[in-house]
Structure 1
Amino acid sequence: MANLGHSQKGHKRPLPLQALMPQVPRGNYLHLLEEKQRLQLKKFLLHRMFLVANTQANLEKKEIAEYYEQVFQSILKHHLGEAVTGLLLIYPTSLLHILESSSDTLYQILLDYLDHERKETDYFVQNMKIIVISHNIPTRFFMQWHVSVIKVPVMYLDDVTQSQSLNEVITDFLTQTHKLALHLFKSMKAGAKGPGDNLHQVAPELLLPEQIIKYLLKCEQFMDPQTFMNMYNKPIHVTMDSEVVWPAPSRFYS
């Protein structure tokens, strides 16, 4: 009996299979990017957004500059260290806006536009379209946010939008805007006030014709801010039909 009792005390339950399996730490691509940013002493992933829109006639540069600066300062109170840099080109009846910042800050700028659109207030920007958002860019093209008015209309011999496909037009758009941004990056010194309103004289070959902006505004392939935000806020996990049937499907494991 003593031997029986001793054997019972010495008997141990087998460990569960999960405890026997080595616990390998798992990560994902987002964690990898965040760690990369941390090692580079960056607080957030940097993104670049290209916007086009129609504008009111006779738009004053000072008015729009003061407005956006107030928007940026308001957002900065809730997103410390996420400054906005970029370039706003004001054409006679349209604009091209390049913005660089964190994703949260860029989305707040879109929400500000949607807030004016819902209230149907007299706003200087209409029919905005998002052309492209470049995610996790390595560096900024712009050290500050600048506004430039394209005052002198440029005459074009032909309308390229009539002879080119959408892919060709958007390729030209991205090529020209990146060339212009790179030119300003190399030519502007830190702390400079901006390129001024004489870009049509300094770099006329790098300026996009307004007709291209008008063409992109009419294309249904590009999202407006409302459609983009609806897609952004949509849940990633989709409920499958098998998850809502009754009785619930059961799985048996051997």
Structure 2
Amino acid sequence: MAHNRKGSKKHFQVDPLLMPKVPRTNYMHLQEEKNRLQLKKFLVHRMFLVGHIQSNVEKKEISEYYEHLFQSILKHHLGEAVTGLLLIYSSTFLHILETSNGTLFRILLDYVAHEKEEKEFMIHGMKIIVASHNIPTRLFMQWHVSFIKVPVLYLDDVTQSQSLAEVTTDFLTMTHKLALHLFKTVKVGTKGPGDNLHQVAPDLLLPEQTIQYLCKAEEFMDPATFLNMYNRPIHITLDSETVWPAPSRF
């Protein structure tokens, strides 16, 4: 009995040869560490939007609408802060958004709700040009608004002689160049580029004809269609699940 009691006090020792020599990790841990170093709690996505503006709407109302919407979302939903650029032309707009997936979802959802409830909402005919997921870095340090007040005359409309792929490529190229220009010139904490982009960067300012062309293109999704596809469950039937002849009941 004494021998058994003495032996029961001994702790089980793991063979040192079985212990891992190198600490192991996985891809999820690497992504979490990368986000932690970049001060990100969520993955950040970027979305390019274009649309039309009602003729009787003050341009300032559009910027105020988005500012209140961003603040309301951050109060009731945990996510990343919104950065980007809103260019408001005479009858159209270009909106670049950088934020988490849940925040983007709620921004589009709010627009769709207004579009259904109000016959003449301040913005309409919105199209999603492209959505980039899990972007490594942001192009904008904050959210900027610029009113393109000065009319710009274009000698020819290049969209009439170009294909949709060419117009989209030029659109993305010019917007990225404009974003890099603002990233280098606009200091953090300032109001942004202001309303004189036609003087500061005239070569990087998109013609309004390009935005109008993209708004009319049927190849791009509107927010309602995008949200329906986003919420639609995915059912994949494997070949191993299909049998022949099909089972039948008598």
TM range (shorter): 0.7 to 0.9
CA distance, structure 2, for counterparts of residue 122 and residue 88 of structure 1: 21
| Counterpart code for 2:129 | I
- Mean Cα deviation higher: 203-212 or 121-130: 121-130
1:59 offset after TM fit, Å? 3.6
CA distance, structure 2, for counterparts of residue 41 and residue 195 of structure 1: 26
Q: Which residue of 2 aligns with 1:190?
A: 188
Q: Which residue of 1 aligns with 2:67?
A: 69
1:41 offset after TM fit, Å? 4.0
CA distance, structure 2, for counterparts of residue 26 and residue 120 of structure 1: 52
CA distance, structure 1, for counterparts of residue 30 and residue 25 of structure 2: 11
CA distance, structure 1, for counterparts of residue 52 and residue 139 of structure 2: 25
Under a length normalisation based on structure 1, what TM-score does the superposition of the two structures give?
Answer: 0.80
Distance 1:134 1:227, change over 3 A: same
Q: Which residue of 1 aligns with 2:96?
A: 98
User: Which of 58, 82, 85 is residue 83 of structure 2 equivalent to?
Assistant: 85
1:34 offset after TM fit, Å? 4.4
Under a length normalisation based on structure 2, what TM-score does the superposition of the two structures give?
Answer: 0.81
1:39 offset after TM fit, Å? 5.2
User: Which of 166, 178, 181 is residue 180 of structure 1 equivalent to?
Assistant: 178
Residues 11-30 of structure 1 deviation map (CA, whole Å, 9 limit, x = unaligned):
xxxxxxxxxxxxxx997x77
| Counterpart code for 2:206 | L
| Counterpart code for 2:242 | S
Q: Which residue of 2 aligns with 1:135?
A: 133
Gaps of 5+ in 1: 1-24, 249-254
Residues 27-85 of structure 1 deviation map (CA, whole Å, 9 limit, x = unaligned):
7x777644542454420111111000010125423322221111001110133351111
SS in structure 2 opposite 1:50? Answer: strand
Identity %: 71
Q: Which residue of 2 aligns with 1:159?
A: 157
Query: Would you say how many aligned residue pairs link Structure 1 and Structure 2?
Result: 223
Superposition pairs of residues 28-47 of structure 1, within 5 angstroms: 33-34=31-32, 36-38=34-36, 40-47=38-45
Distance 1:130 1:230, change over 3 A: same
Distance 1:31 1:121, change over 3 A: farther
Residues 229-253 of structure 1 deviation map (CA, whole Å, 9 limit, x = unaligned):
111111123356738x5369xxxxx
Distance 1:147 1:118, change over 3 A: same
On the 8 A contact 2:79/2:102 being kept in 1, the answer is: no
Q: Which residue of 2 aligns with 1:199?
A: 197
